[in-house]
Chains A and B, each alone.
Chain A
Amino acid sequence: MKRKVFALRMNRVLCFITVLSILLVLGNKGMAKQTELIGAGATFPYPLYSKMYDVYHKEYGVKVNYQAIGSGGGIRQLISKTVDFGGSDAIMSDKDLAEASAPVLHIPTCAGAVVLTYNLTGDPQLRFTPDVIADIFLGKISKWNDRRISAINPGAKLPDMNITVVHRSDGSGTTFIFSDYLGKVSAEWKEKVGTGPSLNWPAGLGGKGNPGVAGLVKQTPGSIGYVELIYALQNKMPYGMVKNKKGKFVTATIASTSHAAETNLPDDMKVSLTDSDAPEGYPISGFTWILVYKELNYAGRSEEKAKELVKLLWWMTHEGQKNAEPLHYAPLSKKAVENAEKLIKSVTYNGKPMMK
């Protein structure tokens, strides 16, 4: 009798262990057959990427897991080799490239605009000049009804409120683009604060990611922050017109962003679009890039994965581009796509180019 009971129990235990191990093995094998690509980085293009990868998954069945942790995060994780690609709107610094110790390609995927969004009653349409923007973010202009702001906004009702600056608390390509612009138009900014994805902000609140900044501005009356255009649009927040180099007040649109992208595009596509010379160009625009190692055989990655990655990059710069405009990103110009194609074709696995 005892043996019977023991046998029954043993059977049950064995069955359970078998089922569990089958599940685990299946989970590993089954999912592994389907390549999954892991990427991390910028929140700037996140609405576009999440749409693109959803479409890509439905069409090709390949899962692309992109976590928007900020451009700084994308660069860091790429250097640590814990991801397959990084997303960044900040160009990698020489220090970072040295730490990566292998060539990293910057493949552009689209261009976007960094807008100044604010929270004032009545959602007035405001205009900003470069020096005013710099001084607001330096903390020198502290009230909304400051003379300098009302001078360029004659019709607007500006309240006697303190300006609450909202900036990024994490390493951000959006910050990079914004500070690159401010460094070009304000000598004081260039000296005091400088350009980079993480800055020693002189004033204000920090939000995590573009969503964090948008969220804080939306909830804090009298605040002003800088976000990618789509975040202001999706949250129905007002954003200001900015005076460009040629003296024109320009609103951020797909057209004005594309104009700003009509500059000389170098082969490695590491170019800044801020303070552009284009007469209709929006001055705070920038490319956003996918960062990949040129040689994809690192940290035990398979050739299969390298092939999938290259396929993904090709799709993002060609068929995937049609997802850009509905989300208010400027698609790549013909010249940009050509340069991107050259870069993608130079990606190798064990020295062998992945795409001819």
Chain B
Amino acid sequence: MGSDRYGEVQALARDVQGLLRRLDPKSLQLKPNSYEPTVGESLALALLGLDRIASDERIDLETAPTFATDYLNRRLSKRLLERYRGRDLPAEFERRLADVLRTLAKDGPARENAPALAWIHRFLIDLESVLLQRPGAID
């Protein structure tokens, strides 16, 4: 595993975790418009990604066109949100992210970790942007 990449992801994770701790719980359900996901749905989708990494599953939605990926992500995130109903989603996300990063660190410099790290890096950036841009999300 490239240590630079790992360190970069860790730093990004810390930033996102900081934002999540400042997240107004009410904003989890806020819908900016009819088609963009809520913060809750974005978190649920990120959790799905972490689950897949944890179960060694290949993340290959990249083969689908973007509009199809968006559709599937929205559908999956809605379903997942129903499953996580009543649970502290940000805390759950924080815990699972820490678990996955720990596992990746333990695995050492395995080449197959690179796609997983790249994927985590990308969704953390996306999540950070959702948290920062969504009005009323962060106090």
A and B found bound together: no
Report A's interface with B, CB cutoff 8 A: none
Report B's interface with A, CB cutoff 8 A: none
